[in-house]
Amino acid sequence: MSLLFILSLVIYFVHISIISTRSLHMLQQNRYNRGYRYIKWILKNYKDNFLNLNLLFFIFLLTIFNDTLNGLSPYLFIIICLFLTYVFISNRRKEVAKLPLKYTARIERLIITNSLIYLIPIIIICITYDEEYQSIYYLILGILSFINYFILILANFINRPVERLVGLHFEKQAKNKLASMTNMEVIGITGSYGKTSTKNIVYDILSAKYNVYKTPQNYNTPFGLMITINNYLDKYNDYFIAEMGACKSGEIKELCDLVKPKYGILTRIGLAHLETFGSEEAIQHTKFELIESLPSDGIGILNGDDEKQLSYHLKNDCQIIWIGIDNHKVDCYAKDLELTYKGTKFNVKFKDDKKEYEFNTKLLGRNNIYNILGGIALGKALGMKISDLQKAVKMIAPIEHRLSMSKYYDINLIDDAYNSNPMGCKMALEVLSMMPGKHIIVTPGMIEVGPKEEEVNREFGLEISISKVDEVILIGAEKTKPIYEGLMKGKFPNEHIHILNDVMDAFPLMMKLKDQETYALLENDLPDSFNEK
């Protein structure tokens, strides 16, 4: 075995180690293939993933049948490995990752397993080496590199028993810690959308009187809750607010079995993750797993303006507090709404109280009133005074990426970049329309609404066309075709529609399109796994 051949194997392994960072990144963003999300992403993006420069490895088909080229195969292999590695690194440096790869313990274990999968054929080749088959060895290694995304699926599958054992260890640790914290009670929050906003709002309201801890960022999975409990909760906490997410039936129940909430807030039930749930009925039943897991002395807060909540036959005898805006037969409703570009004012009426109470907030949009009502209803049930609730609501901080305001030079940005939904999109357009000056919307549309994705995005385009929007910037030519169709149906001027493939290109374009006073709505920001080239 020549030193040149050994060098080529070393360079190949370094190449694999580097290019595997992208497949690891996509696997992490697709929740480690929960609901086969990662596999669906691979197949959906097959052109970008496979019809690319990696096809160069198949140049070795020539070396198998050509004696002259056979002697050059080590040189060609090294050149191709180095070239593809250079191109990969160059492209990655140009990318602006919205959520970079996090080198967690799980990712580190996957790196080890993935490396071993590639080392095994390399070791076998070294043991059984025959110079006559050198080109075939290179072809095999080239194919393994070409199917790197699928190799990681195998690594993820191999690691499942280990991850299960790790999960059981952290689960036991979390349950024991919660059991020891007898003075603390858990508040669960779930829904198709509005979970994180409601979590932050409830936290701000209850913190006016109590020592409260909430799950950070989007820690709404079993591991996310375990990490929060094991690393951050302490004996001085009165309440723990646990955001609960799900992609399929039974996942909310799993979270409830872990943290055992006494209180639960169900925001709204919509189409989010319809593809993985399979049906709207499955979504409805799964979201109600929170309310049906509450103890008999617990309290569930439901939305009386949500038909999917009103129509559900609840299998629990715990206390239910209904909130609403349009429905005045509920226990707590908002009326006399004043929605402006500076904030929101509304009055709250309680079923058992003849008085009305005025509330003011810096938060924008009608949906945030529902989220605040949930916090008000729970705070009152937990013994907070109305005056304290009013002060707390007034002090609620704007929530990042959820209709929060910021500046890009002299352009006013309305950041609603977190994953969109049909109701949220409509409300965001209403907020934009309230603003003085020129209106621009930047959007890639809605995702994860299953077979209705094209339909809801087409309707979104129609909504934009009848709203007070002056310029539309669509991100992703393929992804936004339904929005474009909706815009055309609504006779929106074609010359005011701009189509880009990278959201970062939208900012210099906005500078060209801006007026003396301009408001730009950033409606949804797709994960890196949805980027179009």
For the stretch 23-68, pLDDT in tens is 999 999 888 998 788 998 899 888 888 877 877 777 766 666 666 6
pLDDT of residue 263 exceeding 80 = yes
In Å, how far are 382, 410, 416, 447 from 522, measured between CA atoms? 37, 16, 6, 15
Tens digit of pLDDT for each residue in 132-166?
888 888 889 999 999 999 999 999 999 999 999 99
Tokens of residue 182, six digits: 């007898």
Domain extents in the chain:
3-158, 169-394, 404-530
Tens digit of pLDDT for each residue in 218-228?
789 999 999 99
Tokens of residue 158, six digits: 């191999």
Average pLDDT over residues 287-304: 97
Where do we find the tokens 């992490």? 28
Give the model's confidence band at 530: pLDDT under 50 very low, under 70 low, under 90 confident, else very high: very low
Stronger pLDDT, 56 or 303, i.e. the higher one: 303
pLDDT of residue 65: 63
In Å, how far are 45, 96, 150, 485, 500 from 48, measured between CA atoms? 6, 17, 14, 25, 17
pLDDT of residue 97 exceeding 60 = no
Stronger pLDDT, 171 or 92, i.e. the higher one: 171
- Which residues does 416 contact at the CB level (< 8 Å), separation at least 6? 401, 402, 403, 424, 428, 521, 522, 523, 524
Question: What strands lie across the sheet with 319-324, from one edge to the other?
Answer: 212-214, 239-243, 185-190, 263-266, 299-303, 319-324, 332-339, 344-350, 356-361
Nearest to 266 by CA among 250, 249, 247, 243: 243
Average pLDDT over residues 387-401: 92
pLDDT of residue 389 exceeding 60 = yes
pLDDT of residue 529: 43
pLDDT winner (highest mean) among 21-30, 80-89, 288-297: 288-297
Fold of 169-394: UDP-N-acetylmuramoyl-L-alanine:D-glutamate ligase (3.40.1190)
Query: What does the angle CA 272 – CA 275 – CA 278 come to, to the nearest 5 degrees?
Result: 105
Cα 374 from Cα 197, distance rounded (Å): 11
**CATH architecture label of 404-530:** Alpha-Beta Complex (3.90)
Tokens of residue 106, six digits: 């799980």
Residue 83 Rama label (left phi>0; alpha psi -120 to 50; beta): alpha
pLDDT of residue 355 exceeding 60 = yes
Average pLDDT over residues 494-522: 93
Share of the chain above pLDDT 90, in %: 68
3-state DSSP call for residue 65? helix
3-state DSSP call for residue 515? coil
Task: List residues bridging with 412 in a β-sheet.
Answer: 407, 519
Average pLDDT over residues 284-297: 96
Tens digit of pLDDT for each residue in 189-220?
999 888 999 999 999 999 999 999 999 987 89
Helix ranges, 189-241 (H): 195-206, 222-231
Phi, psi at 180, each rounded to 5°: -80, -15
pLDDT of residue 64: 63
